[in-house]
Structure 1
Amino acid sequence: MISEQEYVITSFRKHFQRFQDKGIVVYGLGKNTEVLLDALRDEYHFIGLMDGVRTGETVYGLPVLTVDEAQERGVGVILILARAANLSIIYPRIAADCERYGIPVYDINGVEQHRITQKTYACPVFYATHTREALIEKMRAADVVSFDVFDTLLMRRCLEPTDVFFLVEQEAHRRGLLSQSVPFAKPRILAERALYPGQPTLDDIYARLMQDTGIAEDVAKELRALGLAEEERQLVPRTAMMRLLHEAQAMGKTVIVTSDMYLGGQAIGRLLLMHGITGLDHVFVSSDTGVSKTGGLFDLVRQTYLGQHILHIGDNATSDVHAALSSGSDAWLVPSARQMLAESACAPLTEHSRDLPERVILGNFLTRELHDPFLFQKTQGRLRLADAYALGRDYAGPMVAGFVQWLIERCRADGIEMLLLGARDGWLIREILDDAARTMDLPFRYRYVYVSRAAFISQKTTSGQWKMERARSTISAATSPSSCAAAQRSARTICTTWRAKASAPGRSLASLTSSRPARASFGSKKSSASPCRATTSCASKNRTRKISPSRHTTRARKSSTRQQNATSPSAKTACTSCPRRGAAKKSATSSLSSKASATPQTTSSKSPIAQNSPTNS
Structure 2
Amino acid sequence: MNEKKGKSKFDYEIEEFHNAFHNMKDKKIALYGTGRMTATLVAGVGDYQIIGLCDRDESLIGKEVYGKPVLSRKQAEEQADLLVINTDATYWNAIYKRIQDWNIPIYFRNGVRAFLEVKEDKENPYWQKSLNELKSVVQSYEVISFDIVDTLLIRKVMSPFDVFRIVELRLQSQYGEIDFCGVRKRATSMLEQPTYDEIYAKISETSGWDLETVETAKRLEQEIEKSLLVARNDVAGLCNEIMQEKEVYFVSDMYFTKETLWELLTINGINAKREQIIVSCELRKDKKSGELWQWYKDDVVKERRALHIGDNLKSDVDMPRKYGIESYYVMSVNEMLEHSSIKDIVPNIVSVQSSLAMGMVCAKVFNSPFALNASFGKLVFHDNREAGYVLLGNLVYNFMLWLINNAKADGVEQLLFVAREGYLLVPQYQHMRKLLEDTNAPKGIYLEISRRAIWGASIENIEDVYEIATFPYGGTCKEFLKDRFGVAAEDEDLDNKRMAEVQSDPKQLRAFVEKYADVILSALLTEKTNYKTYTDGMNLGERIGVVDSLWYGSTQYYLSKFLKQKVHGYYFTACLDESNRYIYQNDMKGCFQRKEDLSGKECSVFRNSKFMEAFFTAPNGMLICINSDGTPKHSEPMSNQLNYSVRLDMQEGILEFFFDMVKLQNRLGLMERLNDELFSDELFDVLMNNGFEPTEEMKKGFYFDNKILNDRESRIWE
TM-score, scaled relative to structure 2: 0.58
Residues 451 and 590, structure 1, Cα contact 8 Å, conserved in 2: no
Task: Give, in angstroms, the shift of residue 151 of structure 1.
Answer: 0.8
Counterpart of 1:231 in structure 2 is 225
**What amino acid is aligned across from residue 452 of structure 1 in structure 2?**
I
Distance 1:128 1:429, change over 3 A: closer
120-129 or 239-248, which deviates more = 120-129
1:24 pairs with one of 21, 29, 35? 29
1:65 pairs with one of 62, 66, 71? 71
Task: Give, in angstroms, the shift of residue 324 of structure 1.
Answer: 2.8
Residues 203 and 214, structure 2, Cα contact 8 Å, conserved in 1: no
**What amino acid is aligned across from residue 158 of structure 1 in structure 2?**
V
CA distance in 1, matches of 2:536, 2:250: 59
Task: Give, in angstroms, the shift of residue 83 of structure 1.
Answer: 2.0
**What amino acid is aligned across from residue 257 of structure 1 in structure 2?**
F
Task: Give, in angstroms, the shift of residue 170 of structure 1.
Answer: 5.0
Counterpart of 2:144 in structure 1 is 145
Distance 1:72 1:455, change over 3 A: farther
Residues 262 and 272, structure 2, Cα contact 8 Å, conserved in 1: no
Distance 1:13 1:190, change over 3 A: closer
Counterpart of 2:161 in structure 1 is 162
Task: Give, in angstroms, the shift of residue 69 of structure 1.
Answer: 1.5
Does residue 1:257 correspond to 2:250, yes or no? yes
Residues 311 and 329, structure 2, Cα contact 8 Å, conserved in 1: yes
CA distance in 2, matches of 1:205, 1:420: 49
* SS of residue paired to 1:386: coil
CA distance in 1, matches of 2:27, 2:456: 60
Counterpart of 2:283 in structure 1 is 289
**What amino acid is aligned across from residue 125 of structure 1 in structure 2?**
N
Alignment of 1:343-492 (within 5 A): 343-408=339-404, 410=406, 415-418=410-413, 420-424=415-419, 425-426=421-422, 429-431=425-427, 433-434=429-430, 435=432, 439=436, 445-448=442-445, 450-452=447-449, 454=451, 462=459
Q: Deviations over 1:319-354 (max 9, x none)?
A: 333443444433333211111111222111113312
Task: Give, in angstroms, the shift of residue 392 of structure 1.
Answer: 0.9
Task: Give, in angstroms, the shift of residue 429 of structure 1.
Answer: 4.9
Distance 1:459 1:442, change over 3 A: farther
Residues 144 and 253, structure 1, Cα contact 8 Å, conserved in 2: yes
Structure 2: runs of 5+ lacking an equivalent: 1-6, 466-477, 479-484, 496-518, 539-619, 621-625, 633-718
Task: Give, in angstroms, the shift of residue 386 of structure 1.
Answer: 0.9
Distance 1:38 1:205, change over 3 A: closer
* SS of residue paired to 1:335: coil
CA distance in 1, matches of 2:69, 2:386: 45
Counterpart of 2:329 in structure 1 is 333
Residues 39 and 186, structure 2, Cα contact 8 Å, conserved in 1: no
CA distance in 2, matches of 1:203, 1:7: 23
Residues 31 and 54, structure 2, Cα contact 8 Å, conserved in 1: yes
* SS of residue paired to 1:26: strand
Task: Give, in angstroms, the shift of residue 360 of structure 1.
Answer: 0.7
Distance 1:457 1:335, change over 3 A: farther
Distance 1:279 1:449, change over 3 A: closer
CA distance in 1, matches of 2:303, 2:132: 26
* SS of residue paired to 1:256: strand
CA distance in 2, matches of 1:41, 1:170: 33
Q: Deviations over 1:32-81 (max 9, x none)?
A: 44555566654x654432234544334455432232221111433x3222
* SS of residue paired to 1:376: coil
Residues 124 and 343, structure 1, Cα contact 8 Å, conserved in 2: no
Residues 168 and 181, structure 2, Cα contact 8 Å, conserved in 1: no
Distance 1:285 1:599, change over 3 A: farther
Counterpart of 2:237 in structure 1 is 243
1:83 pairs with one of 88, 91, 96? 88
CA distance in 1, matches of 2:394, 2:493: 40
Task: Give, in angstroms, the shift of residue 550 of structure 1.
Answer: 9.1
2:523 pairs with one of 562, 579, 588? 579
Q: Deviations over 1:394-430 (max 9, x none)?
A: 1111111122344455557x75544623234346555
CA distance in 2, matches of 1:140, 1:73: 59
**What amino acid is aligned across from residue 338 of structure 1 in structure 2?**
N
CA distance in 2, matches of 1:198, 1:601: 74
CA distance in 2, matches of 1:579, 1:7: 86
* SS of residue paired to 1:277: coil
Q: Deviations over 1:223-263 (max 9, x none)?
A: 5444433322221111121233234335x321110112232
**What amino acid is aligned across from residue 161 of structure 1 in structure 2?**
P
Counterpart of 1:267 in structure 2 is 260
CA distance in 1, matches of 2:307, 2:76: 44
Alignment of 1:197-212 (within 5 A): 197-202=192-197, 204-205=199-200, 208-209=203-204, 212=207
Residues 429 and 444, structure 2, Cα contact 8 Å, conserved in 1: no
Task: Give, in angstroms, the shift of residue 191 of structure 1.
Answer: 6.0
Residues 487 and 523, structure 2, Cα contact 8 Å, conserved in 1: yes
CA distance in 1, matches of 2:221, 2:40: 32
Distance 1:369 1:438, change over 3 A: closer
**Once the two structures are aligned, what percentage of the paired residues are identical?**
22
Q: Deviations over 1:132-157 (max 9, x none)?
A: 45544543333221111111100011
**What amino acid is aligned across from residue 315 of structure 2 in structure 1?**
S
CA distance in 2, matches of 1:357, 1:232: 18
CA distance in 1, matches of 2:493, 2:49: 74
CA distance in 1, matches of 2:169, 2:437: 11
Counterpart of 1:612 in structure 2 is none
Task: Give, in angstroms, the shift of residue 456 of structure 1.
Answer: 11
Alignment of 1:565-576 (within 5 A): none
Task: Give, in angstroms, the shift of residue 389 of structure 1.
Answer: 0.6
**What amino acid is aligned across from residue 53 of structure 2 in structure 1?**
L
Q: CA-atom RMSD, angstroms?
A: 4.8
380-389 or 282-291, which deviates more = 282-291
Q: Deviations over 1:171-214 (max 9, x none)?
A: 5677xxx14x2447536643653453341324642662586252
TM-score, scaled relative to structure 1: 0.66
CA distance in 2, matches of 1:270, 1:552: 78
Residues 269 and 283, structure 1, Cα contact 8 Å, conserved in 2: yes
Structure 1: runs of 5+ lacking an equivalent: 468-521, 523-542, 554-574, 604-617
Distance 1:142 1:214, change over 3 A: same
Distance 1:212 1:39, change over 3 A: closer
Distance 1:580 1:240, change over 3 A: same
CA distance in 2, matches of 1:209, 1:244: 41
* SS of residue paired to 1:377: coil
